[in-house]
Amino acid sequence: MSQHQSEQNFAVTNPAQPNEGEKAARTSLILGIIGLFVLGIVLGPLAIMQAKKAERLGSKATAGMVLGWIAAVLSVIWIIFYSTRMM
């Protein structure tokens, strides 16, 4: 083994601890799923924001982004439908 190989520094990461991008992606997915059933008008945009944060940090968060948009749109449609039925 040469001197050069023994001096190389490798970044040691703990695979049990996800990085910030993965945490944001997972949070986005969870918020998107819950938002489909309750408080989509609030949780949908939060899921979208977390997905954008995850993507900024280098993690894919497509599912959380899509579920966030679906939750938000369905909530708006439900609010419009419900408010027109009350009139």
Q: In three state form, how does the secondary structure of 60-74 look?
A: CCHHHHHHHHHHHHH
User: How many domains, in total, are found in the chain?
Assistant: 1
Question: Would residue 27 count as lying in a domain?
Answer: yes
Tell me: the pLDDT tens digits for 43-60? 999 999 999 999 999 999
pLDDT tens per residue, range 4-50: 555 555 555 555 567 999 999 999 999 999 999 999 999 999 999 99
In the DSSP assignment, the letter for residue 58 is T
In a domain, 6, yes or no: no
Give the pLDDT of residue 62: 96
pTM of the shown model:
0.76
4 in any annotated domain: no
